[in-house]
Structure 1
Amino acid sequence: MCRAMTDTDLTPRKNRARDWFRSLQEDICARFEALELAAERPLYSGDAGKFELTEWKRGDGSEDLGGGRMGLMRGKVFEKVGVHFSEVHGTFSEAFAAQIPGADASDGRFWASGLSLIAHPRNPHVPAAHMNTRMLVTSQSWFGGGGDLNPLLSYQRDQEFEDSVDFHAAMKAACDTHPGADHPHMKEYCDTYFHLTHRDEPRGTGGIFYDRFNTGDWDQDFAFTQEVGRQFADIYPKIVARRMNEAWSEAEREEQLIQRGRYVEFNLLYDRGTTFGLKTGGNVTSILSSMPPVVKWP
């Protein structure tokens, strides 16, 4: 449910959300760089990866339409990982505005800020993961986001597998901080959303997903969204550290590359975040950096 906000509410709330998403990017990048430093020989060699942070502006520069900070790293543990902050504003196209709540009443004007993350580890034993948190404003305002785990080996793609159990527990803990966050519903929504209809199979083992979240208490809704980010920033590095020094075989690497193809198919066919970014003139390099660096279709 989304409710209108008055003009006096907007600026301080936008600033608080923007600053939080930017600080979350910095926190997660630091945690991932620490994992790079902890990678052990002989599985890993060479220098530890470091994030390349690139500021970008939306539009042609003739007016201020916002922008963001793209964070990309290619390292030893993370074959490719993107942790991207954005704050953009402007006007939706007429066709796209019809799909967004409140855009008709705002003459298509919008503001959005958030963080988007996708991690593709090198070791097939380490699950890939996705997380995003965001705030969007038209004539209404709401939060959205969530996180999901994507194990790449068949024996790990089980809801009872240790990594998935721990990940689900962290997402439930985030929901438990807020009386309006219905964990069973958000878990089911995640399973339904991250489903490859054309293959009739899940993309991974799920997590939580929520959109257009507004209970009427902005501070509590923002606190919940912050807790989703904190829980992810805590649990996913623990899962990576647990698995990253396990040896892998060529057969497991092959299975990993094939399973990565499912992620590509979902993002290009179904993902609303990808569509939103492209429809609003976002940074194409940042948006499509979520694609795995190496992938196979048998």
Structure 2
Amino acid sequence: MTDGNLDTQKSRAREWFRSLQADICARFEALEDAADRPLYSGAPGRFELTEWKRGDGSEDLGGGRMGLMRGKVFEKVGVHFSEVYGTFSEAFAAQIPGADQSEGRFWASGISLIAHPRNPKVPAAHMNTRMLVTSQSWFGGGGDLNPLLDYQRDQAFEDSVDFHAAMKAACDTHEAADYAQMKETCDTYFHLPHRDEPRGTGGIFYDRFNSGDWDADFAFTQQVGSQFADIYPRLVARRMNETWSEAQREEQLIQRGRYVEFNLLYDRGTTFGLKTGGNVTSILSSMPPVVKWP
């Protein structure tokens, strides 16, 4: 983990994730500025950026920058950057490729995002991209769309069609990025087995992605982030000025519960963050601000 080329790769990845966080925050704040009466009132939301350090401060274990906003368009949105390193617990190291050969040592950096819009007609969304290093290194991540109204929860829904097209465009930049496979992986992963239903209308999901060409793999991961940063704000702008009913708000709050159930029961990112001593506030900030279970 001290190879000079690897150090350069880690630096490039870290700086990209930080810049992507800033770019997405700026785009979301622009949507807040564009929200008008009568549907929206009050001051436009702004991100509160908070630096945090991992551990008790006795040694350098990395940290990150948490970005949270509660605004007019976004009832709650988190866009978080992290760079953490250290040693896995023995039990957790057994689950991570290459950790046995690195004596449990690891380095990880990435960005994670969850957006919960106020308007029920605006789909929620999730995205993350990351690089992880043990004795091996790889990329992972993806993006998925989560429409909250019944008539929208179909992959033929216009917003889902456009979202999938953006994710496919990212995959089309890399020969080893198989869109059909990554789409299927997403559909399988973001499935609630206890309810036998999908969490949303999907997107792409990939993990332990290493084609043998680091530069190409990194460029693909950058494309995933860039495509998301372009398409999701456009979907928000498309729907945010549509009126909604109290019944649709109720449906939104109930469907948000599916996101909570998945994150707490099955989400690997949540598990990774908690088991590596990540910032609990940042990790669990993905929870919706208001949710109902009837």
Q: TM-score, normalised by structure 2?
A: 0.99
**Would you say 1:54 and 2:82 are equivalent positions?**
no
**Correspondence 1:63-212 to 2 at 5 A:** 63-212=59-208
**Would you say 1:281 and 2:288 are equivalent positions?**
no
**Would you say 1:29 and 2:25 are equivalent positions?**
yes
Question: What letter matches 1:261 in structure 2?
Answer: G
2:262 aligned residue: 266
Distance, in Å, in 1 between the alignment partners of 2:58 and 2:66 is: 21
Distance, in Å, in 1 between the alignment partners of 2:234 and 2:19 is: 20
**Would you say 1:290 and 2:279 are equivalent positions?**
no
Q: How far has the Cα of 1:76 moved from its partner?
A: 0.1
Task: Give SS of 2:137's match.
Answer: strand
Task: Give SS of 1:84's match.
Answer: strand
Identity of aligned residues (%): 88
Question: What letter matches 1:247 in structure 2?
Answer: T
Task: Give SS of 2:78's match.
Answer: strand
2:34 aligned residue: 38
Deviations 1:56-112 (A, max 9, x none): 000000000000000000000000000000000000000000000000000000000
Match of 2:242 among 246, 252, 272: 246
Question: What letter matches 2:112 in structure 1?
Answer: S
Deviations 1:14-55 (A, max 9, x none): 000000000000000000000000001100000000000000
Distance, in Å, in 1 between the alignment partners of 2:2 and 2:97 is: 16
Task: Give SS of 1:129's match.
Answer: strand
Deviations 1:202-261 (A, max 9, x none): 000000000000000000000000000000000000000000000000000000000000
Distance, in Å, in 1 between the alignment partners of 2:211 and 2:138 is: 9
2:8 aligned residue: 12
Match of 2:219 among 219, 223, 237: 223
Deviations 1:269-296 (A, max 9, x none): 0000000000000000000000000000
Q: TM-score, normalised by structure 1?
A: 0.98
Question: What letter matches 1:184 in structure 2?
Answer: A
Q: How far has the Cα of 1:6 moved from its partner?
A: 7.6
Moved more, 7-16 or 223-232: 7-16
RMSD between superposed Cα atoms in Å? 0.7
Give structure 1 stretches of 5+ with no counterpart. Answer: none
Question: What letter matches 1:149 in structure 2?
Answer: L
Q: How far has the Cα of 1:8 moved from its partner?
A: 2.8
Distance, in Å, in 1 between the alignment partners of 2:36 and 2:239 is: 12
Question: What letter matches 1:110 in structure 2?
Answer: F
Distance, in Å, in 1 between the alignment partners of 2:230 and 2:46 is: 19
Question: What letter matches 2:268 in structure 1?
Answer: R
Distance, in Å, in 2 between the alignment partners of 1:124 and 1:90 is: 41
Task: Give SS of 1:76's match.
Answer: coil
Distance, in Å, in 2 between the alignment partners of 1:69 and 1:57 is: 9
Q: How far has the Cα of 1:161 moved from its partner?
A: 0.6
Distance, in Å, in 2 between the alignment partners of 1:49 and 1:40 is: 13
Any runs of at least 4 consecutive aligned residues in structure 1 with deviations exceeding 3 A, and if so which?
Answer: none
Q: How far has the Cα of 1:7 moved from its partner?
A: 1.7
Distance, in Å, in 2 between the alignment partners of 1:212 and 1:159 is: 26
Distance, in Å, in 2 between the alignment partners of 1:48 and 1:95 is: 45
Task: Give SS of 1:104's match.
Answer: coil
Distance, in Å, in 2 between the alignment partners of 1:75 and 1:82 is: 12
Question: What letter matches 1:269 in structure 2?
Answer: L
Distance, in Å, in 1 between the alignment partners of 2:61 and 2:92 is: 17
